[in-house]
């Protein structure tokens, strides 16, 4: 059994298992990830994921943060042997969200959230500040330049600078315009406004970008390696919006963020859960470098995406976090990883990850199997590469 190996009980277990790790031509984690984003040859398939599980932190680093913190995220990334870590743009120094009750609080955008341990570290919105155009008259978005905004990024950069050969790619994060609009007005009101007042939605999207664009610049100047734009665009069956509405309302504002990222010479990675096949032509045309996470349970076809777009973008994800990882056996996980490798790794440009995140419903042993199999079997044999194992 995979889980019987003693290596799964210790931090940084992965380093001792890499059959090619001691090779002279082995890449360091940061370089491996960034080369994959650039569609350049790598020694093996890079590894990445959203670390959204407290038991995983406890298992790998002996402690779990109350919120998603840079120190724990960096330590867990190193311990798992991943090649990149996500650190979002942060709240300002000393600010705490006002508590309306023990489990309910209001963020600085005015959205009310209810805490839920199962949803950690991203809570569920329950009330929204902007229901009509009238609400915009007295509304001001948060200031992205307040002191402390970069503290999580700066802490992660400092930790990474001390990591030597273990240094990973540091991915800053901002929220996309549709996602933030949802948080400001609610999904039902958003859907109605598409027909009743689309200009209201454009104004909400512009509000998001008044925060996101300076955040991108600040993170780029601080020294991040790439930027993830978190923008869920579909559910488990279809895209949220008709293509014409997506193009008219939200695509220009996503493009604006991508353009800002690229202007700083950084790769832009789009994170979107759900079924988004109908948007892919438009999204790839924006010049994104990577697409994450290709949700299997939403019908995202890894083979189709690789065939149609794999020469233009790096593909990240597609290991089922709704069925296989939480409920499958360790061999089920191993077989799904092998399938993804067979489809997506030829020619490069693939990063192995789950198709959403590493959440609380997934046994830690299955997470470790996923990465171990990918590390062992996702090894490239490029022409002229000396003594490389063949995948």
pLDDT in tens, 202-257: 999 999 999 999 999 999 999 999 999 999 999 999 999 999 999 999 999 999 99
C-beta neighbour count of 381 within 10 angstroms:
12
* Domains of the chain by residue range: 2-91+140-377
Whether the per-residue pLDDT at 150 is higher than 80: the answer is: yes
**For 82-130, what is each residue's pLDDT tens digit?**
999 999 999 898 899 999 999 999 999 999 999 988 788 999 999 999 9
In this prediction, residue 17 carries a pLDDT of 45
In this prediction, residue 26 carries a pLDDT of 87
In this prediction, residue 384 carries a pLDDT of 56
Helices and strands (DSSP H and E) totals, the chain? 15, 11
CATH number for the segment(s) 2-91+140-377 = 3.20.20.210
Report the Cα–Cα distance between both ends of the chain, in Å, rounded: 22
In this prediction, residue 326 carries a pLDDT of 98
Whether the per-residue pLDDT at 22 is higher than 70: the answer is: no
**For 159-207, what is each residue's pLDDT tens digit?**
999 999 999 999 999 999 999 999 999 999 999 999 999 999 999 999 9
Question: Residue 37: phi, psi to the nearest 5?
Answer: -60, -30
User: DSSP string spanning 298-355?
Assistant: GT--HHHHHHHHTTTSEEE--B-TTTHHHHS-HHHHHHHHHHHHHHH-TTS-EEB-BS
Q: Output the six-digit token pair for 308.
A: 């149609």
Q: Which of 391, 365, 366 is nearest to 379 (CA)?
A: 391
Residue 23: which pLDDT band, with cuts at 50, 70 and 90?
low
């Amino acid at each position: 059994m995979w889980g019987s190996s003693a290596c799964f009980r210790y931090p940084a277990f992965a380093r001792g298992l890499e059959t090619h790790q001691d090779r002279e031509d082995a890449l360091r984690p940061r370089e491996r990830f960034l080369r994959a984003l650039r569609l350049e040859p790598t020694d093996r398939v890079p590894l990445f994921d959203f670390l959204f599980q407290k038991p995983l932190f406890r298992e790998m680093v002996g402690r779990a943060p109350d919120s998603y913190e840079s120190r724990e995220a960096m330590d867990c990334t190193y311990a798992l042997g991943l090649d990149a870590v996500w650190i979002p743009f942060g709240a300002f120094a000393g600010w705490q969200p006002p508590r309306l009750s023990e489990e309910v609080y209001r963020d600085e955008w005015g959205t009310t959230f209810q805490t839920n341990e199962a949803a950690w570290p991203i809570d569920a919105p329950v009330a929204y500040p902007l229901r009509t155009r009238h609400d915009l008259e007295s509304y001001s978005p948060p200031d992205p330049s307040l002191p402390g905004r970069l503290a999580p990024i700066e802490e992660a950069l400092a930790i990474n600078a001390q990591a030597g050969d273990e240094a990973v790619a540091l991915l800053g994060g901002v929220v996309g315009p549709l996602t933030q609009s949802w948080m400001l007005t609610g999904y039902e009101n958003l859907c109605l406004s598409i027909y009743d007042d689309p200009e209201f939605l454009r104004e909400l999207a512009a509000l998001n970008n008044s925060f996101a664009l300076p955040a991108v610049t600040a993170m780029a100047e601080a020294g991040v390696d790439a930027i993830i734009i978190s923008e869920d665009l579909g559910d488990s069956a279809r895209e949220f919006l008709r293509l014409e509405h997506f193009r008219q309302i939200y695509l220009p504002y996503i493009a604006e963020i991508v353009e800002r990222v690229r202007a700083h010479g950084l790769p832009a990675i789009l994170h979107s859960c759900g079924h988004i096949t109908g948007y892919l032509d438009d999204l790839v045309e924006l010049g994104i470098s990577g697409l994450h996470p290709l949700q299997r349970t939403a019908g995202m076809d890894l083979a189709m995406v690789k065939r149609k777009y794999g020469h233009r973008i790096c593909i990240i994800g597609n290991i089922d976090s709704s069925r296989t990882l939480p409920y499958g056996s360790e061999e089920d996980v191993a077989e799904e990883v092998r399938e993804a490798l067979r489809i997506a790794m030829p020619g490069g440009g693939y990063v192995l990850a789950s198709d959403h995140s590493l959440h609380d419903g997934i046994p830690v042993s299955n997470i470790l199997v996923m990465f171990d199999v990918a590390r062992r079997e996702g090894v490239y044999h490029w022409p002229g590469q000396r003594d490389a194992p063949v995948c």
